[in-house]
Structure 1
Amino acid sequence: MLGPFELRVRDRVLELGGFRIRTLLALLTANAGRVTSVGTLVDALWEAEAPRDAHRTVRSYVSRLRHSLVPAAGLITTHPAGYLLQPPPDAVDAARFERLVAAGRRVLATEPSTAAGQLTAALEVWRGDAYAEFRDVPQLRAEATRLHELRLGAVEDRIDAELATGVGAGLVEELTGLTRRHPGHERLWGQLMTALYRAGRQADALDTFARARTVLVKQFGLDPSPRLVEVHRRVLANDSRLEAPAAVTVRAEPARSVRSDLPGDIADFAGRGAELDRLLGSGLDAAPLAMVIEALDGMAGVGKTTLAVHAAHRLTERYPDAQLFIDLHGHTPGQSPIAPTAALDSLLRALGVSGERIPADLDARAALWRAELAARSVLVLLDNAADAAQVRPLLPGTARSLTLITSRRRLVDLESARTLSLDVLPVADAVALFAGVVGDERATAEADAVRDVVERCGHLPLAIRIAAARLRSRPAWTVRYLADRLGEACSTLAELSVGDRSVGAAFALSYERLDEPRRRMFRLLGVHPATEIDVPAAAALAGVSRAEANALLESLVDDHLVQQPVTGRYRLHDLVRRHACAVALTEEPEPARAEALRRVVDFYLHTAYAASRLLDQQHPPIDLGEPAAGCVPVALPDDVAAMAWFDTNHRCVVAARVAAENAGRDTAVWQLAWTLDNFHYRRGHLHENIDAWRAGLAAAERLDNAGVQARAHRRLGLVYAPLGRREEALAHLNRSLALSERIGDTLGQAGAHFVLALAWTHQGDDHRALTHVTSARDLYREVGDEKWETRALSMMGACHTRLGHHVRARAYCESALARCLEQNDVYGQADSLDNLGAIAAGTGDSAGALRHYERALDRWHRLDNTYRQAATLTAMGDAHRGLRRAGQARAAWHRAAALYRDQHLDEAALGVEARLTRTGPEGTGRS
C-alpha cells in the first residue's frame, strides 16, 4: 500500500483486474481486522451512480478476489454486515511500517541508536505515496492522510534519535527541505535550529527562528510555541545542551516487548483543551492506593473515542508496560456488546497470559486480570462501553494503571470512576476542526459559510467531520453550497453521511438500545413543537404521570439522547431532534402523534390561560372547554408564579400556537393568542403579539366568529399604534368598532374607542383622542364596568394636560387615582400616577413629577411590567434633567434604553438614547 498498489504471493505480482476490484481489495486492506460493510464498498466503488444490483456485484468481486488468493485461503471472511480481511503479521507493508515505528519509539528515550535504526527501517518500507492510485476514493484518502502523517512523525522521531547520537551538520539539508514542505511543523524548525547550531552556524540558527515565526504568524495565525522559543533561547545563550553528546550511553537492560494496541492518533484533532488537560493530569493527584479511572460519556458523534485515543497517545510514557485498547461494542451496528468474560480473555492474552492459565469463571478471570496489572504500569482504553456492569470486572485493583472508558451512557453507577461528560464543540474549535479536515483554502476563503456549516452540524464533531469530508472529496463545491445543502430541513441528516459513517446511523444505534417506554418518549419528543420541555409538559405529551415522565427524561439524559441545560428543563440537540422527528414519522402511528400533539397543545393552552387570569383577574374570561384526556395543566399559586412560568415557557406557548395552526385547530389558535396577550404586553413583546393576533384573526375569520375578530382587530390596533404604523392601527381599530357595533357588543365598542384614543395620542392628535376616550368612558359607565371607566377618566386627564388644561386634567387624574385605590387596581394606579407626573412636568414642577413617577414605577415593578417601566424611567430621566441632576437623569435613561433593547423595541430605545447624546454631563443641552 505504501507506493504503487501491488499484491504479491511468493514475490509474484498478481493481476487483480480492473480499478473497482483493486479498490475493493484496497478498502478491505485499509480496514484489516475490522468488518467493512457492503454499503461502504458500494459507496466507494460507484458513489451516487451505483447500479440497482450493486450489492450482488460486490459479492461477485469478493468471489473473484478469493479465487485469486487461493494461496492464502481464508484471508477474506464473510460477516453479516460485510467482509473482513485478516492478513498474517507483516503481510501488509503499512502494518509492517507501523510495527517498526512503534518499536523505534519505545526505545527512543533510552536507546537512540537502536531507535534510529528501527525508524530508518520503517521509513525504507515506503516505495512512494500511500494509496496514490485511489486519491479520488474518499474512504481511502483519509487512510492515506493518516499514514502520511505517521510517516512524517516517524521522520521527526528518527531525526530526534540521530540528534541524540550526536549527528548535526549531516541533517541540515534534509531538515531545510522538510521545513519548506511542512512549514506548520514546529518540531522540524527546532530540529533544524539544533542541527545548524551544531554545524557552527549559530547566526543561521537564529535566522531560522525568525523565518519560522514569520511563517507561523502569517500562514497559520500562531505564535511560536514555548518549546520552539526555548530552543531559540538556548541558541542565543550558547547552551551546552545543544552540543553533540560526548558519548551516548545505552542502558544495558534486557529487551522487553511492550504491547501497544492504541488506534492511530488523528492529525486534525481540534479543541478539547480543558478536557485534555484533565485527562493528562489523571492520577497525578490521586491517593497512593486509589484506582485511576476516567469515564468519558456523551452523545453519539461528540468525539469521545477521538479524545480518549489522543490523550492515551500522550500518556504512553507514563504507562510504559503496555497500552491496551478494546472495543466493547456497546453501540456497534450488527454486534452485541462484548461480554466481560470475553473482554477479559482478550485483555489477558494481550498481556501475554497463555490461554491455559485463563480461568472460565468471570470472578476468577477478573481476579487474574487485577493480579497481572498489580505489578505493571498499564494504560487500558475500554472503548464504547454499554454500561457499568460490562466495565466493572475489567477495572484494575491498584493505582499503577490508568483506565480510560468511553460510553454513550453516563456511567453514574460506576462508583470508582471520575466522569467527564463531553458537550459539542465551541464555535472556534468547531471551525478549526472543519478547516483541518477540509485541508484547503476554501475553509479560509469562506469564513462566514464555514460558521454556517458548523452551526447546521450543531457543533457535533462527527457531523463536522463528515460535512468536511464531503467537501474535501468534491473540489467543485464551495463551502456556501455545502451550507445551503445542509440548510434544507428535510435533507440535513441525509447529507451528513459518507461511506460507513453516518450521523443518523449513530443516533439510530443509541435509540435501538432503549426499552420501549424510553423509545416512545424519545419519539414523542420529536413531535413536541418547541425546542425545550419540562416534566409536566412531557407528561402531557406522552399521557403518563409526572413521576414516570421524570424517570424517562432523566434516563434519556443518562443515554445522552436528551440534554438538561438547567434543572427541570430538557431539550434535544438539533440533529438528534431531526432524528427523533424521523423516527416518530416511521414508528409512531399518525393517530398517536396527533393525540400527543393535542395533549401538549392543550397543556400549554390551559396552563397559559390560568397564568394570564392570575396576571389580570378582571380580564374577560373565555371558555376553553376540558383539556384532552391525559393532559394535566400546572396549578400556579399566584401572579408571581404565573409570570415566572410565562418567562420560562413563553417560546413553548408560541410554538404550541403555531402547531395548533398547522393542525387546523382554529379555536385553539385564537385562544392561545388571547392567553399570550397579557404577558406579551407586560414584557413588551409587541412583534410577537402581532404574530399571535394575526394568526388569531385568520382563525376567527375561518370560524366566522365576529366577536373574536373584533377583539383581534382591537389588539392589533393597540400594538401597531406605538410602533408608528398609523394606517394599519386605524384600519384595524375602525374594523373592530364596526364589528362590535354590528353584533351589539357594547363592551367591545368601549374597548375600540379606548384604543382609538391611544392611537390618536401616538399621532399627537389629542382632540380626537379626547373624543374617543370620552365615548369609551360613557360606554363603560353604561355597562357598569367601573375599572375601565376609571382608566378612561385617567386617560381623559392625560389628554387635557397635553391640551394645556392642567387644572381639569389634575381633577380627572386625582379622581381616577382615588377610585383605583378603592378598587385595588394596581395597573390603574400606576397609569394615573404616570399621568399626574406628566401634569406636574407640564406645569414646571419637576420635583412633583418625580414623586409621582417614583410611585408609578413602584407599581409597574409590582406588576412586573417591563414595557411600562421603560416609559416611566424615561419620564423620570426628563424630570431629573429639569432639576439639573445629570447623573440621575442619565442613569434613568440608561435603564430605560436597556429595557427597550431587551424587548427588541429598538426605535423606542433610540429615542431614549438620543437624550443621552443631547444632554451634557451637567444636564445642559449640547449644541
Structure 2
Amino acid sequence: MLGNLEVRMNGASVPVGHVRQKAVLVTLLAEADHVMPPDRLIERVWGARPPARARSVLRTYLSNLRRVLNHTGITITWHDTGYRLAVRSGAVDLHRFRHLLGEARVTGDPGRALALADEALALWRGEPLAELDTPWAHSTREQLCQERAAAEADRIDWALECGRHGELLPRLTARAHEEPLDERLAGQLMLALYRAGRQAEALERYQHTRQRLGAELGIDPGPALQDLHQRILTADPSTSSLADAPRSAVTPRQLPAPPAPFHGRDAELSRLDAALEAPDRATTVVISAIAGAGGIGKTWLALHWAHRNADRFPDGHLFVDLRGFSPDGEPMNPAVAVRGFLDTFGIDPRSIPADPHAQAALFRSLVVDKQMLIVLDNAADTSQVLPLLPGGRSCTVIVTSRNRLSGLITGHGARHLHLDVLTDAEAHAVLTDRLGRARVDTEPAAAGRLVSLCGGFPLALSIIAGHAQTQPRLPLAALAAELSDLGLGALDDDDPTASLPEVLSWSRRSLSPGHATVFALLGIAAGPDISLAAAASLVGCKPSEARTLLRALDQASLIAQDVSGRYHLHDLVRQYAGEAVLREMSVTDRENALLRWVDFHLHTAHGAHRLLDPHAVFVEPDEPTPGCAPVSFSDSAAALAWFDSEHRNLLAAHQLAVTRGRHEAAWQLALALTTFHHWRGHLHDDLVVWQTCLPSADHVAHPAARTTTHRFLGRALTRVRRYEEAAGHLQRALAVAEENGDLLNQAHAHRGLHWVRELEGDDRAALEHALRALALFRTLDNAMWEIRALNNVGWFNARLGRYDEAREYCQAALALHARHPVLDDGRAGTLDTLGFIDHHNGDHVSAIGHYRQALALRRELGNEYEVANTLDNLGYPHAALGQHHHARAAWQEALKLYRTQERHEDAVRAQHRIDSLNDADAAP
C-alpha cells in the first residue's frame, strides 16, 4: 500500500472497488490487528463531510471487502467497539517497509543493511494515499514521505560504507543542487567525492554549503558537517569506508549456536555421517537434503550434526537462512545469499562483479578446493539452492526445506533425508531435559500425556515446555488438560516462530489454491489415513488428478505416504487443516466432500461384502454422490485385504454417517462390515457399530431394517458374552419378523438364539432353535443356509452325545454342499463338527484329519475367528494321542488369535491347557 490506493497480495493487485472502498481497506491495513471504531474510520475516509448514511455505507463497503478478500487470508471482523483487520505478518507493504528498515538499522553490517534498505524502498509505488483527500490522509502522507526520505538517506550512508561512492556520485550531485541547505546530503556528497579521490572538490562543496547557509539562514554548518570537513582536510583515516580497509584472509564460522537440548535422531545422524564416507565422496560434492514439516526439527538436526562435525571442516562453515517459509516476507533471492558469502570472505566490493551469475561463479571459485561445510537452511525450492552450490568436490552441503527438493536429488545427487516425528522415548527425553527430571517424575502420567498430545512434534514439545518453564508452579496435568481441550490453540503464540499454527501456515501459504483445498479437505476426512481412491472421491476428481495433488502435498511435507501407498497427516497438522476448511470453504462444499467420502466407503464395502459372503443379507445403496468413484475387486482375497486396510476409516465413515443423520448409509455400512468383523474377530467394533446404528433403524425405509438391526446386535452381544441382552434383542428380532411374515429373518433369529443357549450351557434349548431354523431355511430353498443349519443340528446332537444322529446331519450337509460346490464356511463348519464327533468317539486320527480340512478352508476364506476355534479343537486329539508338540503348537496359535480378538475368557482357557500340557511334560 506504499503508493496510491493499491492493495497487493503475494505480488498481485487485489481489485477492491472504487476509491472510498479502497480507502476503507487501506485505513484498516494501516492499523492491522488493532480495533478501529466506526466513527474514527468514517472520519479518516470521508473527513469532515461524511455521507448522510455513513455507517450504512461503511457496512456495505466492509461486506464487499470481505467477499473480495475471502481467499487472500485477510479477515475483517467486529470486536466489541470496532472493526479489526487481521492479516498475516509481512503482507502489508507499510509494515514490511518499517520492519526491514528497523532490521537494517540494528544489523551492524552495512552490506546487509544496504540489501534490506533496497528491499524496503522497492515497496514504494508512487505517492502514498494519492486518491484520498482527508486530514488523516494528508498527515499520514506527509509522515510516510518523511519516513521514505529518512530511509533513502540511511541507504546512502550504508552504500558509502560499502564502497559504492562511484555509483552514488551522479545522483548525490543532482540532489545537492536541488536541496542545497540539506547538511546531511552535503556531507554524503563530500564523502563520496573524497573517497573517489576528489578531495579538492569535497572541500569546495563544504565551502559552497557554508556560504548558502549563511546567506539564506544566517547560520554556520552544524558540528557534524564541520567535523567531516576537518577530517577530509587532514585526510583522517576515519573517512575511509570499510571497503577501503586492508583485508585479510577470513575463515568463516557462521554456524548459529547448537540447539539444546537435543535427543534422538540417531538413525538420521548416522545417515549424515555415512554421506561423508560414501564411495563417491571423492568424485562429487556431498549434498544432504533434509526435508520435513514445519516445526519437525530440520534446522535442529542440521545444526546439531554440523557442530558435532565442525572440526572436519578446517576451512570454515557458512550458514544462511534462505527464508523459504518465513512469516515476514518472500524467500531470499539467492543472489543476496551469494553476496553475503562474498562479503564473509572479505572480498573488496570493488572487485565484485555486478552480474549475479558472475558473483555465483566467483563464489564457486573461492570454495573450489576448500574443505567447508555450507548449511543452506529453510530453502523454498531447488532453484533457490543451485546458485549456492560449490563447484568442487571438497565441500559438504546440508540443505533443509519443507519441500522435498526433487530437482536437487535427481539432478545433483543429493541424499534425501526425510525427517519424521520423534519417538515417544525421544520426546520424553526432550521434555525431561527442558523441565528437569524432578518435575517430570513428580507427574509421570501428565508428562506422558503431554508427550502423547504433542505427537513427537519437536516444536510442539518446545512450546509446551516453554509454557511450563514460565509457570513453574502450574501442574503438568493442567497443561495436559489445556492442550487436550484447546489443541492447536494451546500451541499458539504472539511470536510467529514459537507458534505451531503460524509455522504450519507458512507451508500452507506456499500452496496453490487447488493444493490448499485438497489439504483442507484432508483435515475433515474422519479416518486416520486415506487411500488414493478415497482421496479422489473426497476431492471429487479422477485418481490421476488426485495423485498429482497429493504428491505436491507430500513434497511440501504436509502429508506423508507410507510404503503401502496410503497418505497420513500428523494429528496436529490434521487439526490445522480442519480449521482451515472451516474458515475457507462453504458449508455446502464441505458437506458434499464428506458425502462423497462416506459414499466411497459404503459402496466399496458393499461390493467387497458380496465377495466375502454371497449369501448374506444385501440391500442395494442409493446411487453414490456425484464425484464419488467406488472401487471393485476381482475376488474375495482382494476384498478382504481392502477391509483390513480400510477398517478404521470404515468405522469413522459409519460414525460420520450416524452423526450426519444419514441413517440409510449408516445401516447399510453396518451390514457390509458384519462378515468382516466376524471373520477377523473384531467383536467390540462390531458391537459398537450395531449399538450406534440402533437408533438409525427407525429411520430406514427397508421393511427388515429393525429386525436385522436387533438380530445383528444380538449376535454382537453374544460374541462378547452378554447373553441376557443378546437374547433380548434376538427375541425382539424374532417377534418383529413373525409379525411381518419374514421367514428368512425368523430363521436367522433362531440361529442367533441357538448360539446364545449353547453358550449358556442349555444344549437342548439350542437344538430346538437349530431345528426350527433348519425347517425355515428348507422352506426358503436356500441351499447354503440349509447346509449351515444341518451342521448346527448335527453339532448340538453331538454336544448331547448323540453321535450317530449328529453324523447323519453332517453327512447330509456335505452331500448338499457337493451339489453346490462353493467356497463357503458351511463345509468348514461341518468338517469341524465331524472332528468333534470323531474325537469323542475315540477316533483321534480321523478327528485330526477333519479338523485340518476345516482349518485349511477357514484360512483360505480368511475367517480368523473360526480359525482360532478350530485350532483350539485340533489340540485335543493331538493331546489324546500323546502328540504334545502338535497340541501345544495348535493351542499357542489359538491363544495368539484369542488375544488379538480380545476373547479374554477363551484366552485364559487356552493358556490353562498349555500350562497343563507343560506340567505333564515336566512330570518325572
Global fold match (TM > 0.5):
yes
Which position in structure 1 is the counterpart of 2:911?
913
Aligned-pair distance for 1:280? 4.2
Deviations 1:278-329 (A, max 9, x none): 3345434443241122211111111111121222223332223332211111
Separation of aligned partners in 2, 1:870 and 1:83 = 72
Contact map agreement 2:290 2:416 (CA 8 A) in 1: yes
Separation of aligned partners in 2, 1:644 and 1:87 = 62
| Alignment partner of 2:460 out of 435, 459, 463 | 463
Contact map agreement 1:706 1:739 (CA 8 A) in 2: no
Please say which of residues 374-383 and 276-285 is displaced more in the overlay. 276-285
Aligned-pair distance for 1:88? 7.2
Which position in structure 1 is the counterpart of 2:348?
354
| Alignment partner of 2:264 out of 266, 271, 291 | 271
- Structure 1 SS opposite 2:324: coil
Which position in structure 2 is the counterpart of 1:331?
325
Provide the aligned C-alpha RMSD in A.
Answer: 2.7
| Alignment partner of 1:668 out of 661, 665, 670 | 665
TM-score of the superposed pair, with normalisation by structure 1 = 0.72
Aligned-pair distance for 1:702? 3.5
Structure 2, unpaired ranges of 5+: 1-30, 35-78, 86-94, 111-246
Contact map agreement 2:249 2:345 (CA 8 A) in 1: no
Q: In structure 2, do the counterparts of structure 1 residues 749 and 659 end up closer, same or farther at CA, with 3 Å as the change threshold?
A: same
Which position in structure 2 is the counterpart of 1:692?
689
Contact map agreement 2:249 2:346 (CA 8 A) in 1: no
- Structure 1 SS opposite 2:858: helix
Aligned residues: 699
| Alignment partner of 1:885 out of 883, 887, 893 | 883
Separation of aligned partners in 1, 2:583 and 2:842 = 72
Contact map agreement 1:463 1:496 (CA 8 A) in 2: no
Separation of aligned partners in 1, 2:793 and 2:773 = 10
Aligned-pair distance for 1:499? 3.6
Deviations 1:708-730 (A, max 9, x none): 11111111222222432110111
Q: In structure 2, do the counterparts of structure 1 residues 738 and 506 end up closer, same or farther at CA, with 3 Å as the change threshold?
A: same
Aligned-pair distance for 1:837? 1.2
Which position in structure 1 is the counterpart of 2:861?
863
| Alignment partner of 1:566 out of 558, 563, 566 | 563
How do residues 716-755 of structure 1 correspond to structure 2 at under 5 angstroms?
Answer: 716-755=713-752
How do residues 481-500 of structure 1 correspond to structure 2 at under 5 angstroms?
Answer: 481-488=478-485, 490-497=486-493, 499-500=495-496
How do residues 746-785 of structure 1 correspond to structure 2 at under 5 angstroms?
Answer: 746-785=743-782
Which position in structure 2 is the counterpart of 1:840?
838
Counterpart check, 1:628 vs 2:647: no
Aligned-pair distance for 1:476? 1.5
Q: In structure 2, do the counterparts of structure 1 residues 731 and 77 end up closer, same or farther at CA, with 3 Å as the change threshold?
A: closer
Counterpart check, 1:800 vs 2:797: yes
Separation of aligned partners in 1, 2:805 and 2:377 = 82
Give the letter aligned to residue 267 of structure 1: A
Deviations 1:696-748 (A, max 9, x none): 22101234755111111111222222432110111011000001011111111
Which position in structure 1 is the counterpart of 2:535?
538
Separation of aligned partners in 2, 1:272 and 1:817 = 60
Q: In structure 2, do the counterparts of structure 1 residues 880 and 280 end up closer, same or farther at CA, with 3 Å as the change threshold?
A: closer
Contact map agreement 2:295 2:458 (CA 8 A) in 1: yes
Please say which of residues 855-864 and 540-549 is displaced more in the overlay. 855-864
- Structure 1 SS opposite 2:794: helix
Aligned-pair distance for 1:276? 2.5
Separation of aligned partners in 2, 1:829 and 1:278 = 55
Q: In structure 2, do the counterparts of structure 1 residues 432 and 883 end up closer, same or farther at CA, with 3 Å as the change threshold?
A: same
Which position in structure 1 is the counterpart of 2:603?
606
Separation of aligned partners in 1, 2:701 and 2:719 = 29
Q: In structure 2, do the counterparts of structure 1 residues 38 and 296 end up closer, same or farther at CA, with 3 Å as the change threshold?
A: farther
Aligned-pair distance for 1:355? 2.4
Contact map agreement 1:680 1:686 (CA 8 A) in 2: yes
Please say which of residues 441-450 and 580-589 is displaced more in the overlay. 441-450
Aligned-pair distance for 1:81? 8.6
Give the letter aligned to residue 889 of structure 1: A
How do residues 363-378 of structure 1 correspond to structure 2 at under 5 angstroms?
Answer: 363-378=357-372
How do residues 894-909 of structure 1 correspond to structure 2 at under 5 angstroms?
Answer: 894-909=892-907
How do residues 113-262 of structure 1 correspond to structure 2 at under 5 angstroms?
Answer: 257-262=250-255
- Structure 2 SS opposite 1:393: helix
Q: In structure 2, do the counterparts of structure 1 residues 657 and 381 end up closer, same or farther at CA, with 3 Å as the change threshold?
A: same
- Structure 1 SS opposite 2:304: helix
Q: Which has the larger radius of gyration?
A: 2
Q: In structure 2, do the counterparts of structure 1 residues 514 and 818 end up closer, same or farther at CA, with 3 Å as the change threshold?
A: same
Which position in structure 2 is the counterpart of 1:303?
297
Please say which of residues 287-296 and 806-815 is displaced more in the overlay. 287-296
Aligned-pair distance for 1:437? 1.9
Q: In structure 2, do the counterparts of structure 1 residues 80 and 578 end up closer, same or farther at CA, with 3 Å as the change threshold?
A: same
Please say which of residues 718-727 and 765-774 is displaced more in the overlay. 718-727
Separation of aligned partners in 2, 1:456 and 1:920 = 44
Give the letter aligned to residue 642 of structure 1: A
Which position in structure 2 is the counterpart of 1:287?
281
Aligned-pair distance for 1:256? 5.0
Separation of aligned partners in 1, 2:562 and 2:331 = 30
Aligned-pair distance for 1:337? 0.6
Q: In structure 2, do the counterparts of structure 1 residues 890 and 605 end up closer, same or farther at CA, with 3 Å as the change threshold?
A: same
Counterpart check, 1:508 vs 2:505: yes
- Structure 2 SS opposite 1:734: helix
Which position in structure 2 is the counterpart of 1:124?
none
Aligned-pair distance for 1:79? 3.0
Which position in structure 2 is the counterpart of 1:219?
none
Separation of aligned partners in 1, 2:811 and 2:884 = 30
Which position in structure 1 is the counterpart of 2:184?
none
Contact map agreement 1:525 1:580 (CA 8 A) in 2: yes
Separation of aligned partners in 1, 2:744 and 2:305 = 72
Which position in structure 2 is the counterpart of 1:320?
314
Counterpart check, 1:409 vs 2:403: yes
Aligned-pair distance for 1:570? 0.4
Separation of aligned partners in 2, 1:467 and 1:758 = 53
Separation of aligned partners in 2, 1:51 and 1:596 = 35
Contact map agreement 2:250 2:346 (CA 8 A) in 1: no
Deviations 1:580-603 (A, max 9, x none): 101011011111010000001000
Deviations 1:339-371 (A, max 9, x none): 122221122111112223222333222211111
Separation of aligned partners in 2, 1:368 and 1:85 = 26
Counterpart check, 1:850 vs 2:848: yes
Aligned-pair distance for 1:861? 1.1
Give the letter aligned to residue 388 of structure 2: L
Separation of aligned partners in 2, 1:514 and 1:399 = 35
Counterpart check, 1:382 vs 2:376: yes
Separation of aligned partners in 1, 2:845 and 2:566 = 47
Q: In structure 2, do the counterparts of structure 1 residues 538 and 82 end up closer, same or farther at CA, with 3 Å as the change threshold?
A: farther
Identity %: 38
Contact map agreement 2:248 2:346 (CA 8 A) in 1: no
Which position in structure 2 is the counterpart of 1:400?
394
Aligned-pair distance for 1:478? 1.6
Give the letter aligned to residue 865 of structure 1: N
Separation of aligned partners in 1, 2:333 and 2:106 = 26
- Structure 2 SS opposite 1:632: coil
Deviations 1:606-658 (A, max 9, x none): 00000000011122321212111111111211111111111111111111101
Counterpart check, 1:658 vs 2:655: yes
Which position in structure 2 is the counterpart of 1:123?
none
Counterpart check, 1:640 vs 2:634: no
Deviations 1:101-160 (A, max 9, x none): xxxxxxxxxxxxxxxxxxxxxxxxxxxxxxxxxxxxxxxxxxxxxxxxxxxxxxxxxxxx
| Alignment partner of 1:449 out of 446, 449, 453 | 446
Q: In structure 2, do the counterparts of structure 1 residues 584 and 283 end up closer, same or farther at CA, with 3 Å as the change threshold?
A: same
Contact map agreement 1:81 1:334 (CA 8 A) in 2: no
Q: In structure 2, do the counterparts of structure 1 residues 687 and 284 end up closer, same or farther at CA, with 3 Å as the change threshold?
A: closer
- Structure 2 SS opposite 1:753: helix
Counterpart check, 1:714 vs 2:733: no
Q: In structure 2, do the counterparts of structure 1 residues 480 and 360 end up closer, same or farther at CA, with 3 Å as the change threshold?
A: same
Aligned-pair distance for 1:255? 8.1
